[in-house]
Structure 1
């Protein structure tokens, strides 16, 4: 009777199989994982840049001719609008500059007129070409009428402002008193009487030398008069600003 052959293959022993199953897989080195991550990042970045470049190029490269013409026309229109706005802003700037110049000129003119009125009213000091007149009265025979004649002659000759014996002469100035008792606007003055007047010095000087005028009257009263011309004299006596009691500005007829 034939007997069965024993198998040649042998099963793996059970303990050995458990050892193989329980043995964990070896981890990959961390440097390899990092390298793979960097490569993936670079690959993604390169792909994104390539796609973006292709899209940008295709944006114009793939455009139709009429689209390119429309884009060019739109850019030209924007440029024209910007140029127009720049031109308008430049015109406005010039107008504002002109307005500022006009306003500055108006302010300067108003200031000049105010100063002129203040000089005429005697509320500010003034300087300019003119005369210094000294009237000496050793015998106290020169009266207020002679000084008043001097003031009127100087005004008639174009004197813009003046002072007599340290008192500023204004529109309402009053010279009163006899010889040796002269008062100007209530202020007692004494000889020698010094008159400082601003104006054309030659014209003012001639006015003092008119025959029968101020110079002759002073000499007849026993006094003497010296007239000195100068390129610049100073009138620094001041008058208080007088407020009108009754007069008011008249309304503008154009209003």
Structure 2
């Protein structure tokens, strides 16, 4: 953990240099603001327009968190069922893979036709984006249980339920958190896409209104907000992982 913090200045420095280079190139080339605004213009708009943007940010945050929670629960339960019942895994797992080949942006209009413009189609979109990484990661984690420990518990008379909850599930926690971190970042993207279905507020709505009025600086404010929100979600999952999977992180302290 401490090593990661010490190395954190490197990407921050690279990002700062990129912003400086961006600012210089735009100013020297005299690129119009509606085409590509400089970082200073974007930062100024973020400060001045915060009062107008913050409700949209809050709306997207709530939607993404709700979708992430539902998608995570569905993904984890699906993984447990597929792991414990091999027949279902062999029958359903290929269909789960095929489901990920359908673009969400194409499926979204159908969800509006079937379920209307309410909250349900938006939650479905985020759930579809979030549940698959957790399901796959958890299934892989269940398979990584040490064979000698499994053999020992069976010799001790452990039931299938005890074997799963006391051995296989704890061993899969690092993999489950890996899937959660991926889903956490996807949830924000899924929330923005779902807001394009006809929401009254949210970053997706803010981006649509800004692009239609050629306010490129506001579009970049929305883009950076999405990035920062995804990093916050990722950091929250990482913090929970560090506290719950201590044996995995001892080498980083």
TM-score of the two chains, using structure 2 as the length reference: 0.20
Relative to its length, the structure with more strand (as a share) is 1
Q: Which structure has the higher relative contact order (CA within 8 Å, separation 6+)?
A: 2
TM-score of the two chains, using structure 1 as the length reference: 0.20
